[in-house]
Structure 1
Amino acid sequence: MIKIGDKAPAILGINEDGKEIKLEQYKGKKIVLYFYPKDSTPGCTAQACSLRDNYDELRKQGYEVIGVSIDSEKSHQRFIERNNLPFTLIADTDKKLVEEFGVYGEKKNFGRTYMGTFRTTFIINEEGVVERIIEPKEIKTKTHADQILNK
Protein backbone atom coordinates (compact mmCIF):
# COMPACT_ATOMS: atom_id res chain seq x y z
CA MET A 1 0.00 0.00 0.00
CA ILE A 2 1.40 3.37 -1.03
CA LYS A 3 1.36 6.20 1.51
CA ILE A 4 2.26 9.90 1.56
CA GLY A 5 6.02 10.22 1.16
CA ASP A 6 6.36 7.01 -0.90
CA LYS A 7 7.77 7.03 -4.41
CA ALA A 8 5.22 6.04 -7.08
CA PRO A 9 6.03 2.93 -9.16
CA ALA A 10 8.25 3.48 -12.24
CA ILE A 11 5.77 1.72 -14.53
CA LEU A 12 2.15 2.72 -14.11
CA GLY A 13 0.63 0.39 -16.69
CA ILE A 14 -0.84 0.15 -20.19
CA ASN A 15 -3.17 2.88 -21.45
CA GLU A 16 -6.21 2.79 -23.75
CA ASP A 17 -3.92 2.67 -26.82
CA GLY A 18 -1.81 -0.24 -25.55
CA LYS A 19 1.13 2.07 -24.72
CA GLU A 20 3.15 1.62 -21.54
CA ILE A 21 2.87 4.62 -19.22
CA LYS A 22 5.95 5.31 -17.12
CA LEU A 23 6.47 7.78 -14.30
CA GLU A 24 9.54 9.27 -16.04
CA GLN A 25 7.32 10.51 -18.91
CA TYR A 26 5.90 13.05 -16.44
CA LYS A 27 9.16 14.26 -14.88
CA GLY A 28 8.84 17.88 -13.76
CA LYS A 29 5.03 17.68 -13.62
CA LYS A 30 2.62 16.91 -10.82
CA ILE A 31 0.38 13.92 -11.48
CA VAL A 32 -3.25 13.46 -10.52
CA LEU A 33 -3.43 9.66 -10.48
CA TYR A 34 -7.06 8.88 -9.86
CA PHE A 35 -8.46 5.39 -9.36
CA TYR A 36 -12.13 4.83 -10.12
CA PRO A 37 -14.40 1.77 -10.07
CA LYS A 38 -15.85 1.47 -13.59
CA ASP A 39 -16.08 3.21 -16.96
CA SER A 40 -19.42 4.78 -17.93
CA THR A 41 -21.10 4.55 -14.51
CA PRO A 42 -22.76 7.73 -13.17
CA GLY A 43 -20.23 8.58 -10.43
CA CYS A 44 -17.19 7.73 -12.53
CA THR A 45 -18.52 9.73 -15.47
CA ALA A 46 -19.21 12.75 -13.21
CA GLN A 47 -15.67 12.53 -11.81
CA ALA A 48 -14.05 12.22 -15.24
CA CYS A 49 -16.12 15.13 -16.57
CA SER A 50 -15.14 17.32 -13.60
CA LEU A 51 -11.49 16.66 -14.46
CA ARG A 52 -12.18 17.21 -18.18
CA ASP A 53 -13.99 20.50 -17.60
CA ASN A 54 -11.11 21.80 -15.45
CA TYR A 55 -8.31 20.19 -17.46
CA ASP A 56 -6.89 23.48 -18.77
CA GLU A 57 -6.70 24.91 -15.24
CA LEU A 58 -5.13 21.72 -13.88
CA ARG A 59 -2.49 21.81 -16.63
CA LYS A 60 -1.89 25.52 -16.03
CA GLN A 61 -1.08 24.63 -12.42
CA GLY A 62 1.38 21.95 -13.55
CA TYR A 63 -0.79 18.84 -13.22
CA GLU A 64 -1.14 15.91 -15.62
CA VAL A 65 -4.21 13.71 -15.16
CA ILE A 66 -4.12 9.90 -15.42
CA GLY A 67 -7.16 7.75 -14.67
CA VAL A 68 -6.95 4.10 -13.64
CA SER A 69 -9.58 1.37 -13.52
CA ILE A 70 -9.57 -2.37 -14.07
CA ASP A 71 -11.60 -1.98 -17.29
CA SER A 72 -10.13 -3.02 -20.66
CA GLU A 73 -8.41 -0.81 -23.23
CA LYS A 74 -11.51 -1.07 -25.45
CA SER A 75 -13.80 0.03 -22.60
CA HIS A 76 -11.47 2.99 -21.91
CA GLN A 77 -11.51 3.98 -25.60
CA ARG A 78 -15.32 4.10 -25.55
CA PHE A 79 -15.36 6.03 -22.24
CA ILE A 80 -12.87 8.59 -23.60
CA GLU A 81 -14.78 8.93 -26.87
CA ARG A 82 -18.23 9.26 -25.26
CA ASN A 83 -17.09 11.90 -22.78
CA ASN A 84 -14.41 13.67 -24.85
CA LEU A 85 -11.74 13.04 -22.20
CA PRO A 86 -8.41 14.78 -22.89
CA PHE A 87 -6.31 12.54 -20.61
CA THR A 88 -5.09 8.96 -20.68
CA LEU A 89 -6.67 6.04 -18.83
CA ILE A 90 -4.71 3.02 -17.64
CA ALA A 91 -6.32 -0.37 -18.23
CA ASP A 92 -5.23 -2.20 -15.06
CA THR A 93 -6.89 -5.47 -16.07
CA ASP A 94 -4.40 -7.57 -14.07
CA LYS A 95 -5.10 -5.40 -10.97
CA LYS A 96 -1.36 -4.85 -10.43
CA LEU A 97 -1.57 -1.07 -9.89
CA VAL A 98 -4.79 -1.05 -7.81
CA GLU A 99 -3.27 -3.65 -5.50
CA GLU A 100 0.11 -1.89 -5.31
CA PHE A 101 -1.62 1.37 -4.32
CA GLY A 102 -3.90 -0.46 -1.88
CA VAL A 103 -7.16 0.68 -3.50
CA TYR A 104 -8.64 -2.73 -4.35
CA GLY A 105 -10.61 -4.80 -1.89
CA GLU A 106 -13.92 -5.93 -0.51
CA LYS A 107 -16.80 -3.52 -1.01
CA LYS A 108 -20.42 -3.63 0.11
CA ASN A 109 -23.31 -2.15 -1.84
CA PHE A 110 -27.03 -2.74 -1.27
CA GLY A 111 -26.24 -5.71 0.97
CA ARG A 112 -24.02 -7.31 -1.67
CA THR A 113 -20.31 -7.97 -1.03
CA TYR A 114 -17.86 -7.97 -3.93
CA MET A 115 -14.28 -7.06 -4.85
CA GLY A 116 -13.70 -3.67 -6.43
CA THR A 117 -11.69 -0.47 -6.70
CA PHE A 118 -11.99 2.21 -4.02
CA ARG A 119 -12.33 5.66 -5.60
CA THR A 120 -9.04 7.29 -4.50
CA THR A 121 -6.81 10.06 -5.87
CA PHE A 122 -3.06 10.30 -5.38
CA ILE A 123 -1.29 13.60 -6.02
CA ILE A 124 2.30 12.86 -7.04
CA ASN A 125 4.87 15.65 -7.03
CA GLU A 126 7.45 16.52 -9.71
CA GLU A 127 9.94 14.04 -8.19
CA GLY A 128 7.48 11.14 -8.33
CA VAL A 129 6.66 11.16 -4.60
CA VAL A 130 3.08 10.92 -3.29
CA GLU A 131 2.34 14.20 -1.49
CA ARG A 132 -1.41 13.96 -0.99
CA ILE A 133 -4.11 11.29 -0.97
CA ILE A 134 -7.80 12.09 -1.37
CA GLU A 135 -9.59 9.17 0.29
CA PRO A 136 -12.81 7.51 -0.98
CA LYS A 137 -15.06 9.14 1.65
CA GLU A 138 -13.63 12.61 0.84
CA ILE A 139 -14.10 12.52 -2.94
CA LYS A 140 -16.96 14.51 -4.40
CA THR A 141 -17.30 13.24 -7.96
CA LYS A 142 -19.03 16.32 -9.43
CA THR A 143 -16.46 18.77 -8.03
CA HIS A 144 -13.35 16.58 -7.87
CA ALA A 145 -11.15 18.98 -9.85
CA ASP A 146 -11.98 21.73 -7.33
CA GLN A 147 -10.83 19.42 -4.52
CA ILE A 148 -7.48 18.97 -6.28
CA LEU A 149 -7.12 22.69 -6.99
CA ASN A 150 -8.20 23.45 -3.39
CA LYS A 151 -11.01 25.75 -4.48
Structure 2
Amino acid sequence: MRGAAADRQERSWQTNWVSRRLARTEKYMCLALGVVAPDFELPVVFGGDTVRLEDYKGKNFVVILLPPLAFSSACTSQMCSVAENYSRWEELGAEVIGISTDSPYVNQKFAEECGASFPIASDDNKIVSSEYKGLLEEVIETIEGGGLR
Protein backbone atom coordinates (compact mmCIF):
# COMPACT_ATOMS: atom_id res chain seq x y z
CA MET A 1 0.00 0.00 0.00
CA ARG A 2 1.35 3.39 -0.97
CA GLY A 3 1.58 6.25 1.43
CA ALA A 4 0.38 9.82 1.02
CA ALA A 5 3.93 11.03 0.29
CA ALA A 6 4.28 8.55 -2.58
CA ASP A 7 0.91 9.64 -3.99
CA ARG A 8 1.93 13.33 -3.81
CA GLN A 9 5.23 12.55 -5.50
CA GLU A 10 3.43 10.64 -8.28
CA ARG A 11 0.95 13.50 -8.84
CA SER A 12 3.81 16.01 -8.85
CA TRP A 13 5.69 13.95 -11.42
CA GLN A 14 2.58 13.68 -13.63
CA THR A 15 1.90 17.42 -13.37
CA ASN A 16 5.50 18.25 -14.26
CA TRP A 17 5.47 15.81 -17.18
CA VAL A 18 2.27 17.30 -18.59
CA SER A 19 3.63 20.85 -18.17
CA ARG A 20 6.90 19.98 -19.94
CA ARG A 21 5.05 18.17 -22.73
CA LEU A 22 2.65 21.08 -23.22
CA ALA A 23 5.52 23.58 -23.32
CA ARG A 24 7.26 21.55 -26.04
CA THR A 25 4.03 21.08 -27.97
CA GLU A 26 2.96 24.75 -27.87
CA LYS A 27 5.85 25.88 -30.05
CA TYR A 28 4.66 23.52 -32.80
CA MET A 29 0.97 24.34 -32.54
CA CYS A 30 -0.46 26.40 -35.33
CA LEU A 31 -3.22 27.91 -33.17
CA ALA A 32 -2.50 29.61 -29.86
CA LEU A 33 -4.05 28.12 -26.76
CA GLY A 34 -7.44 29.64 -26.07
CA VAL A 35 -8.08 30.61 -29.70
CA VAL A 36 -11.32 29.28 -31.15
CA ALA A 37 -10.53 26.96 -34.04
CA PRO A 38 -11.84 28.21 -37.40
CA ASP A 39 -14.70 26.15 -38.78
CA PHE A 40 -14.30 24.48 -42.16
CA GLU A 41 -16.20 22.25 -44.55
CA LEU A 42 -14.20 20.10 -46.96
CA PRO A 43 -14.81 17.09 -49.22
CA VAL A 44 -13.63 13.84 -47.62
CA VAL A 45 -12.35 10.47 -48.75
CA PHE A 46 -13.99 8.46 -45.96
CA GLY A 47 -16.93 9.10 -43.68
CA GLY A 48 -19.35 11.01 -45.92
CA ASP A 49 -19.46 13.72 -48.52
CA THR A 50 -17.96 16.52 -46.44
CA VAL A 51 -16.45 17.05 -43.01
CA ARG A 52 -17.14 20.13 -40.89
CA LEU A 53 -15.37 21.00 -37.69
CA GLU A 54 -18.74 22.20 -36.37
CA ASP A 55 -19.94 18.57 -36.48
CA TYR A 56 -17.39 17.70 -33.79
CA LYS A 57 -18.65 20.27 -31.30
CA GLY A 58 -18.94 18.76 -27.82
CA LYS A 59 -16.32 16.06 -28.43
CA ASN A 60 -13.45 15.78 -25.94
CA PHE A 61 -10.63 16.29 -28.44
CA VAL A 62 -10.33 16.73 -32.16
CA VAL A 63 -6.93 15.97 -33.66
CA ILE A 64 -6.38 17.64 -37.03
CA LEU A 65 -3.50 16.32 -39.10
CA LEU A 66 -2.24 18.73 -41.74
CA PRO A 67 0.27 16.86 -43.89
CA PRO A 68 1.25 19.35 -46.62
CA LEU A 69 2.11 16.73 -49.24
CA ALA A 70 0.71 13.21 -49.49
CA PHE A 71 3.28 10.50 -50.17
CA SER A 72 6.27 12.52 -48.94
CA SER A 73 8.23 10.39 -46.49
CA ALA A 74 7.46 12.49 -43.39
CA CYS A 75 3.76 12.91 -44.18
CA THR A 76 3.30 9.25 -45.06
CA SER A 77 5.04 8.20 -41.85
CA GLN A 78 2.87 10.56 -39.76
CA MET A 79 -0.44 9.61 -41.36
CA CYS A 80 0.28 5.87 -41.37
CA SER A 81 1.37 5.97 -37.73
CA VAL A 82 -1.90 7.63 -36.71
CA ALA A 83 -3.88 5.16 -38.86
CA GLU A 84 -2.08 2.16 -37.33
CA ASN A 85 -2.78 3.43 -33.83
CA TYR A 86 -6.27 4.79 -34.51
CA SER A 87 -7.92 2.49 -31.96
CA ARG A 88 -5.73 4.03 -29.25
CA TRP A 89 -6.85 7.53 -30.30
CA GLU A 90 -10.47 6.36 -30.04
CA GLU A 91 -9.85 4.90 -26.57
CA LEU A 92 -8.65 8.36 -25.49
CA GLY A 93 -11.89 9.89 -26.79
CA ALA A 94 -10.14 11.72 -29.63
CA GLU A 95 -11.64 12.30 -33.05
CA VAL A 96 -9.11 12.44 -35.90
CA ILE A 97 -9.41 14.41 -39.14
CA GLY A 98 -6.72 14.51 -41.81
CA ILE A 99 -6.57 17.56 -44.09
CA SER A 100 -4.28 17.46 -47.10
CA THR A 101 -3.75 20.03 -49.84
CA ASP A 102 -3.81 17.25 -52.41
CA SER A 103 -6.78 16.41 -54.62
CA PRO A 104 -9.49 14.01 -53.43
CA TYR A 105 -8.13 11.36 -55.84
CA VAL A 106 -4.60 11.59 -54.38
CA ASN A 107 -6.00 11.57 -50.84
CA GLN A 108 -8.03 8.45 -51.66
CA LYS A 109 -4.83 6.63 -52.66
CA PHE A 110 -3.00 8.08 -49.65
CA ALA A 111 -5.72 6.85 -47.27
CA GLU A 112 -5.72 3.40 -48.87
CA GLU A 113 -1.94 3.09 -48.59
CA CYS A 114 -1.99 4.06 -44.91
CA GLY A 115 -5.13 2.12 -44.06
CA ALA A 116 -6.77 5.24 -42.63
CA SER A 117 -10.33 4.79 -41.37
CA PHE A 118 -10.74 8.41 -40.23
CA PRO A 119 -11.81 11.23 -42.58
CA ILE A 120 -9.12 12.67 -44.84
CA ALA A 121 -10.33 15.91 -46.37
CA SER A 122 -9.09 17.63 -49.50
CA ASP A 123 -8.06 21.26 -49.11
CA ASP A 124 -6.73 21.64 -52.64
CA ASN A 125 -7.40 25.39 -52.64
CA LYS A 126 -5.27 25.64 -49.43
CA ILE A 127 -7.71 27.96 -47.62
CA VAL A 128 -8.13 25.85 -44.47
CA SER A 129 -4.45 24.89 -44.37
CA SER A 130 -3.57 28.59 -44.52
CA GLU A 131 -6.00 29.41 -41.68
CA TYR A 132 -4.38 26.70 -39.56
CA LYS A 133 -0.87 27.75 -40.67
CA GLY A 134 -0.22 24.23 -41.90
CA LEU A 135 1.40 24.98 -45.25
CA LEU A 136 5.01 25.37 -44.16
CA GLU A 137 5.45 22.12 -42.29
CA GLU A 138 3.41 19.17 -41.19
CA VAL A 139 1.23 20.06 -38.27
CA ILE A 140 -0.81 18.12 -35.77
CA GLU A 141 -3.43 20.33 -34.15
CA THR A 142 -5.30 19.15 -31.07
CA ILE A 143 -8.45 21.04 -30.19
CA GLU A 144 -10.15 20.53 -26.85
CA GLY A 145 -13.93 20.54 -26.86
CA GLY A 146 -13.98 24.06 -25.42
CA GLY A 147 -12.10 25.35 -28.46
CA LEU A 148 -15.11 24.75 -30.69
CA ARG A 149 -17.81 27.40 -30.61
Name the structure where helix makes up a greater proportion of residues. 2
State the match for 1:36 in structure 2: 67
Deviations along 1:36-82, whole A, 9 cap, x unmatched?
A: 12112221111111101211111111101111121000001111112
Note if contact 2:31-2:132 (Cα within 8 Å) is conserved in structure 1.
yes
Match of 2:40 among 11, 15, 18: 11
Q: TM-score, normalised by structure 2?
A: 0.70
CA distance in 1 between counterparts of 2:87 and 2:71 reads: 23
Identity rate of aligned residues, in percent?
Answer: 31
- Asked whether the 8 Å contact 1:11–1:20 carries over to 2, the reply is no
Aligned counterparts of 1:84 and 1:102: Cα–Cα separation in 2:
26
The answer to whether the Cα contact below 8 Å between 1:23 and 1:128 also exists between their aligned partners in 2 is no
Instruction: Find the counterpart in structure 2 of residue 107 from structure 1.
Output: none
More strand by share: 1
Gaps of 5+ in 2: 1-29
Corresponding residue for residue 77 of structure 1: 108
Q: Contact 1:13–1:20 at 8 Å: present in 2 too?
A: yes
In our comparison, the structure showing a higher alpha carbon Rg is 2
Q: In structure 1, which of residues 6, 23, 26 is the aligned counterpart of residue 56 of structure 2?
A: 26
TM-superposition CA deviations, 1:1-21 (whole Å, max 9, x none): 732211112224222268221
Runs of 4+ in structure 1 deviating by more than 3 angstroms, as ranges, are none
Give TM-score scaled by structure 1 length. Answer: 0.69
Q: How far apart, in 2, do the equivalents of 1:78 and 1:21 lie?
A: 18
Rounded to whole Å, the distance in 1 between the matches of 2:80 and 2:73 is 11
